[in-house]
A and B are shown apart, each in its own frame.
Chain A
Amino acid sequence: MADILSETVAPADLKKFEQIYHEQLSSNSVTSKAQFEYAWCLVRSKYSADIRKGINLLEDLYNTNQEGHRDYLYYLALGTARLKEYSKSLNFCSAFLSVEPGNQQVLSLQQTIKKKLEKEGLKGMAMAGGLVLAVGALVGVALATKGKPSQ
């Protein structure tokens, strides 16, 4: 019981979705649903290695699956925030808001992250500086595909 950034997944739930994902992986038939569900649990883990893995899975989904973009961006923002990569996280929020301005859920996540930043100082910003480029590239893809009139 805590807030959106510190709440953690129950180990049994993580295990359940991990199993589904791995079963599909071994038969070479991973669905975006199973990958998303597993990633969503991973970014809520208390271990940063799990969160990192979840972020990788979400980035992969983001690059291959058009429809789920808002879901993936939201959980990318959440996962990176939990790793205290606040700058990266705020970039994901901005990317989301550039498509859906005024989304209350994302605005409130953004606010939570900014408060954390204030509290913990600007250390995270400097650390994440090098990663901004990578996020920029990802967001660039989003905007480019969004801008296409026909598809």
Chain B
Amino acid sequence: MSGGPYNYSYIFKYIIIGDMGVGKSCLLHQFTEKKFMADCPHTIGVEFGTRIIDVCGQKIKLQIWDTAGQERFRAVTRSYYRGAAGALMVYDITRRSTYNHLSSWLTDTRNLTNPSTVIFLIGNKCDLEAQRDVTYEEASKFAEENGLMFVEASAKTGDNVEEAFLETAKKIYQSIQDGRLDLNAAESGVQHKPSTPGRNNLSSDNQGSKDNCSC
């Protein structure tokens, strides 16, 4: 699987959403650079990051749009939701208000993305156990009721950060494999980069038996 013009075979579009200050930008930086920013200013509009990951032997490029949580950016940041294959929805376990707003974030996401979009809930700042304001159990129940994947994570220590981004990608990849996600749909949030020269038939690629994913 080499010789093509790209060193990855898929591009997945992600968005990161949630109230201001919950740690969205820190999660992105921890994931793309393995660094924690102790003094991170509010994002202006949207930030962008990429990383190439490996899922079931496939190289996948994640294009991640980190949206600003401050109210004055909300109207326009919604225009970035369209065509997201994955949505990381973040709250801060030390601030209940950020958890209480999740249902409105979820409604927005469901309205603006497509049914195959994978939504992953992240309870961030789990290093601050002493200041915890939302229990693991109730968030976990919320996630289950709404069919979301869920972890508690810390952008500071890096706990579960990789997991959240990678599990989302795995789920998207599985949707492609079992045909739930149509690669040819305009707003699937996934681009296939054929690594062999010439035009590939994308749909026949799905049924290919060459790489049966075992995860």
Contact = CB atoms under 8 A, between A and B. Distances in A.
Q: Do A and B come from one complex?
A: yes
Contact of A37 (B13, B44, B48, B75): B75
Interface residues of B, number: 23
Contacts of A108: 47
Interface stretch (B76-84, B96-104, B124-132, B171-179): B76-84
Given A1-B13, A1-B63, A1-B191, A105 B44 contact: yes
B43 A105 contact: yes
Given A1-B13, A1-B63, A33-B72, A10 B47 contact: no
A40 B83 CA distance: 19
Interface of chain B, main secondary structure: mixed
B45 A10 contact: no
Interface of B: 11, 13, 25, 29, 37, 40-41, 43-48, 50, 63, 72, 75-76, 79, 82-83, 189, 191
24 contacts: A1-B63, A1-B83, A2-B63, A3-B48, A4-B47, A4-B48, A7-B48, A9-B79, A10-B79, A17-B75, A33-B72, A37-B75, A37-B76, A40-B76, A41-B76, A71-B44, A75-B44, A103-B41, A104-B29, A104-B37, A104-B40, A104-B41, A105-B44, A108-B47
